[in-house]
Amino acid sequence: MKGIGIIRHMDGLGRIVLPKQIREFLDLYSQDGVEIYLDRQEIIIEKYMPRKCVLCDQNAYLIAYKEKILCQVCIEDIAGYVKN
């Protein structure tokens, strides 16, 4: 990813402020979680998306749909409900 021309400096505790434009673009709000990890010489910051079904909290057979995470079982249950 190429830079967008915004430079931020760390404070004495290693903190930086994410520019408002970036927070708005990612729909990040106060108290939202972010994931931070390294990729070679880059620091990657992503909006945290829980990796469990929003309906049943299962963490297997997950599918992302419109920025929500659903498990296969719940999707099949919903599909069966819609058919009836």
pLDDT tens profile 39-70: 999 999 988 877 899 999 998 899 988 888 99
Query: Do both 35 and 65 map to the same domain?
Result: no
What 3-state DSSP class applies to 48? coil
Please give the residue range of the domain that contains residue 6.
Answer: 1-48
Q: How far is CA 24 from CA 38, 44, 47, 76, in A?
A: 23, 17, 11, 34
Count of domains forming the chain: 2
Q: pLDDT over 70 for what percent of the chain?
A: 94
Dist CA 37 CA 68 (whole Å): 22
What pTM, to 2 d.p., does this model score?
0.54
With a cut of 60, say whether residue 22 has pLDDT above it.
yes
Q: How far is CA 55 from CA 14, 21, 74, in A?
A: 37, 31, 7
pLDDT averaged over the chain? 88
Query: Do both 28 and 5 map to the same domain?
Result: yes
pLDDT of residue 3: 60
